[in-house]
């Protein structure tokens, strides 16, 4: 995939994703490109950095400037990653039951259907974690951001 920065005649800037530069040219000629904000088909490519998605794990995708998330606007990629990770942690905490240090025991009981199936979180030592993994029990380590409770 290749990404071009595009500009409509009303001045809206947006990104277009294409299979290749030829694909862009073909879509442009056939009038298939239109501005996502105003629908204008008068769109041109603006000279700026292009990026090619090699599928090899490209670092830090650029967040569009009009991303509908004011908390992320104008932040650098590292800060954005921290914010998103923090939200993920919140999400996980809100959807799991805290079993604390009983985690290794409870994870095993659930796995062997000795306890009701549910999502749990808790703490485990490195050895306990590795033992769970070796037993084929699906667990994931989740580093908590500093200064957060549990």
Q: Closest separation between CB of residue 89 and Zn ion, Å?
A: 38
Do you know the residue count of the chain?
150
Q: Closest separation between CB of residue 6 and Zn ion, Å?
A: 10
Residues near Zn ion (CB under 5 A) are 8, 10, 12, 35, 37-38, 40
Q: Closest separation between CB of residue 21 and Zn ion, Å?
A: 22
Structure tokens at 35: 């501005």
The smaller minimum CB distance to Zn ion, of residues 35 and 99, is found at: 35
The smaller minimum CB distance to Zn ion, of residues 44 and 98, is found at: 44
The smaller minimum CB distance to Zn ion, of residues 38 and 142, is found at: 38
Q: Closest separation between CB of residue 14 and Zn ion, Å?
A: 8
The smaller minimum CB distance to Zn ion, of residues 8 and 80, is found at: 8
**Is-contact 97 119, C-beta < 8 A?**
yes
């Amino acid at each position: 995939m290749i990404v071009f920065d595009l500009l409509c005649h009303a001045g809206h800037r947006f990104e277009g994703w294409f299979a290749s530069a030829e694909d862009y040219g073909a879509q442009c000629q056939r009038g298939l490109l239109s501005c996502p904000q105003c629908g204008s088909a008068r769109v041109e490519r603006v000279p700026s950095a292009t990026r090619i998605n090699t599928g090899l794990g490209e670092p830090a995708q650029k967040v569009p400037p009009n991303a509908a998330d004011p908390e992320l606007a104008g932040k650098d990629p590292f800060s954005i990653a921290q914010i998103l990770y923090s939200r993920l942690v919140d999400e996980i905490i809100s959807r799991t039951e805290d079993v604390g240090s009983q985690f290794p025991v409870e994870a095993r009981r659930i796995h062997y259907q000795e306890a009701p199936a549910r999502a749990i979180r808790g703490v485990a030592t490195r050895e306990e974690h590795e033992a769970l993994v070796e037993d084929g029990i699906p667990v994931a380590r989740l580093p908590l951001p500093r200064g957060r409770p549990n």
